[in-house]
Structure 1
Amino acid sequence: MTTFALIGAGPGLGLATARRFGAVGHTVALISRTPQSLDRLTAELTGDGIQARGFTADALDPASLTRALHTAADTLGPIEILQYSPAPRADFMKPVLDTSADDLDAPLAFSVKGPVTAVHAVLPGMRELGRGTVLFVNGGSAVRPHPERAGTSVAFAAESAYARMLHDALAPEHIHVAQLIVPGAIRPDAEHSSPDALAERLYDIHAKRDGFRQYAEPLPD
């Protein structure tokens, strides 16, 4: 079986998605900055009978991200599914008039250089398999910029453009690239935006391979 690689492993959406893909037999590579968190998540998945391993990397450090993905593929098997969904830092979300050019360096590195690095790391393996899925998860500011969250609005829009171009370029190679927009907060009690509901939606996107952008729920007016 092939590997599901998750960049941005955490106890909410990340764990739920890892559990969903692991339940159908994929090995799971969890990638995060925090080794202690990876140990806890790996233990939970292992307790569910899922083969999982954690790999430490920072989305802002291309070398560490590439190294983690290559090691994951070498250790667990070829990466068929990549999910890029790390949580943006709070300091990315300044009001637009308080946001300088330098303030955009980290958000753009996080949402553009990180995805480009990750895709280049896994694409040769997907091509060798003859198939693959790349899943991007973004907040509503990716499609509707928010003046109080300038960094993520600019960076998510750029990530969306990159993902859309990938969708078109890789479709002939049976590699499906898709984006799931989550307009509001991810909450355990939310009907459509709970971790489990979103995990099911992401698995459905992978399985059905239908279109580029989907919404967890409609954007608020």
Structure 2
Amino acid sequence: MTTFALVGAGPGLGLATARRFGAAGHSVALISRDAEKLDGLTADLARDDVRARGFTADVLDTESLDQALHAAATTLGPIEILQYSPVPRADFMKPVLDTSADSLDAPLAFSVKGPVTAVNAVLPGMRELGRGTLLFVNGSSAVRPNPKVAGTSVAFAAESAYARMLHDALAPENIHAAQLIIPGAIRPDAEHSSPDALARRLYDIHQQRDGFRHYSEPLPD
């Protein structure tokens, strides 16, 4: 049995994707800073007969993230699918004219150093399996810079570039890197951007392995 590792576990999209991949037979590794939240999520998944375990880590602490992913693989089995989708902090979203060089340190660590650390932690196991999927989830500022949220616009663009390079470099090894852009808010009543709809979409991307960038719905004009 292989493992679906979710960096940025939460009760919305994270729980829905964990449930979807768990229903397909994968063990689930949930990674978040909040141990109490992880306990609640694993208990919720256990009620659906999903084998899940939580691992505490902060994506801004690359050592803790690396340790969590290695512990997940040791405990649950090799990681075949990695989803990187932590929610950015509110202070990353300053207007561009209020953004200093120092204020970009945390967003870039969150959206570049975090993904690079996570990928480097799981890549050897994927290569040993002979397959793997790397899923990156971003908002619309990754592809359409928004001057009202300069930190995430800059950092998500850098994450997008990294993910795209992985897509090209790893394709010959049967490791598929893909990005899902969610243009608006994730809402339970949204047809294409509800947690369950997005979870289905991410699972389809993993299964179909078709192209790099995907959109949950078209970008608004």
- Range into which the TM-score falls when normalised by the shorter chain: over 0.9
The amino acid of 1:105's aligned partner reads D
Gap runs ≥5 in structure 1: none
Deviation track 1:49-102 (CA, whole Å, cap 9, x = no partner) reads: 000000000000000000000000000000000000000000000000000000
Structure 2 residue matching 1:28: 3-state secondary structure: strand
Q: Find the counterpart in structure 1 of residue 108 from structure 2.
A: 108
Deviation >6 Å, runs of 4+: none
Q: Find the counterpart in structure 1 of residue 210 from structure 2.
A: 210
The amino acid of 1:167's aligned partner reads H
Structure 2 residue matching 1:177: 3-state secondary structure: strand
Q: Find the counterpart in structure 2 of residue 175 from structure 1.
A: 175
Structure 2 residue matching 1:73: 3-state secondary structure: helix
1:149 CA displacement: 0.1
Counterpart-to-counterpart distance in 2, 1:174 and 1:122:
14
| Cα root mean square deviation, aligned | 0.2
Using structure 1 for the length normalisation, give the TM-score.
1.00
1:154 CA displacement: 0.1
Gap runs ≥5 in structure 2: none
The amino acid of 2:5's aligned partner reads A
Q: Find the counterpart in structure 1 of residue 125 from structure 2.
A: 125
Q: Find the counterpart in structure 2 of residue 5 from structure 1.
A: 5
Map residues 1-221 of structure 1 onto 2, 5 A cutoff. 1-221=1-221
1:124 CA displacement: 0.2
The amino acid of 1:117's aligned partner reads T
The amino acid of 2:188's aligned partner reads P
Counterpart-to-counterpart distance in 1, 2:46 and 2:86:
22
Counterpart-to-counterpart distance in 2, 1:33 and 1:134:
21
Using structure 2 for the length normalisation, give the TM-score.
1.00
1:184 CA displacement: 0.2
Deviation track 1:161-215 (CA, whole Å, cap 9, x = no partner) reads: 0000000000000000000000000000000000000000000000000000000
The amino acid of 1:4's aligned partner reads F
The amino acid of 2:50's aligned partner reads I
Deviation track 1:129-160 (CA, whole Å, cap 9, x = no partner) reads: 00000000000000000000000000000000
Counterpart-to-counterpart distance in 1, 2:211 and 2:170:
13
1:218 CA displacement: 0.4
